Amino acid sequence: MIVVPPPPEFSWLKMSKELLQFVGYFLAIGAIGFRFGIVRRIRGLSDEASRILRADNAALFGMLGIMLVLLSFVGGLFVESAMRKVVVAELLPPSLGRFEFKLGMLAVALVGFRLVRSDPSIGWAFASIGTLLVLLQPLYTGKLAGKVNAVHILAASTWLGTLLVLTVIGVRGVIRSHTAGQQRAKLIADLVNSFSPLALTAATIVGITESPQPGCI
């Protein structure tokens, strides 16, 4: 068996940081998509269905996602400093203001997801604003490739991340509930019907913004 070595510019650390970022955005945007793209579209829910589909259940996914993104930004610096045996300050990006802005907005998003259970309106507003401002920062600061990549990640996370949250919280919760079989079937159908327009729109954007050149936000 022939083992093909990675290209000279390949970096396991960079790949790990990008993977953490993507998974983090995937979970955070999925939670937001579930809240605004699915739960708000379903009307006339019974008390049992409302309990199962409480949008604050998705906030745990959002908190985990934001913590992964924070880990990729901050933890990556410390790992790289240890590997290269330099101080962290030497590895800070030239545009320090943008980096600080990202950290600040991630903190806002994390606080927002934490506030969801006590004050859903304010919590989801903070979570959505903080997450989107970080993810879409290249739209107002980066080059064209970064702008396209940011939209691509947003669309992919909206599509697949929302599907994950829908499956774990929505469909799984309905199946395990004590409601009648017909009611469960109807609620699952409503969930799928509510998700379909969001999925089609996001999948279309993913296809449009698909690029053979990988990028990092």
pLDDT, tens digit, for every residue of 156-201?
Answer: 999 999 999 988 888 887 777 666 677 778 888 888 888 889 999 9
Count of other CB atoms within 10 angstroms of residue 141: 13
Q: Residue 87 — very low, low, confident or very high, per pLDDT cuts 50/70/90? A: low
Average pLDDT over residues 72-79: 76
What pLDDT does 49 receive?
A: 62
What pLDDT does 6 receive?
A: 52
> Comparing 182 with 82, which gets the higher pLDDT?
182
Task: Examine the pLDDT at 155 and tell me if it is beyond 50.
Answer: yes
What pLDDT does 213 receive?
A: 47
In a domain? residue 102: yes
What pLDDT does 91 receive?
A: 65
Rounded CA separation 97/103 (Å): 10
Q: Residue 214 — very low, low, confident or very high, per pLDDT cuts 50/70/90? A: very low
Q: Per-residue DSSP letters for 112-152?
A: HHHHTTT-HHHHHHHHHHHHHHHHTHHHHHS-HHHHHHHHH
Share of the chain above pLDDT 70, in %: 72
Range of the domain at 135: 17-209
Domain count, the chain: 1
In a domain? residue 214: no
Q: Which of 69, 99, 45, 86 is nearest to 161 (CA)?
A: 69
In a domain? residue 4: no
- What does the pLDDT look like over 17-71, one tens digit per residue? 888 889 999 999 999 998 888 877 666 555 666 666 666 788 999 999 999 999 8
Rounded CA separation 112/95 (Å): 26
What pLDDT does 40 receive?
A: 72
Exposure pattern of 103-119 as b/e (b: 16+ CB <10 Å)? eebbebbbbbbbbbeee
What pLDDT does 4 receive?
A: 47
What pLDDT does 123 receive?
A: 93
In a domain? residue 217: no
Rounded CA separation 118/122 (Å): 9
What pLDDT does 107 receive?
A: 95
* Chain position carrying tokens 């320090």: 96
Average pLDDT over residues 88-112: 82
In a domain? residue 65: yes
What is the SS3 assignment for 8? coil
* Chain position carrying tokens 């290249």: 138
Task: Examine the pLDDT at 8 and tell me if it is beyond 60.
Answer: no
> Comparing 118 with 91, which gets the higher pLDDT?
118
Task: Examine the pLDDT at 122 and tell me if it is beyond 80.
Answer: yes
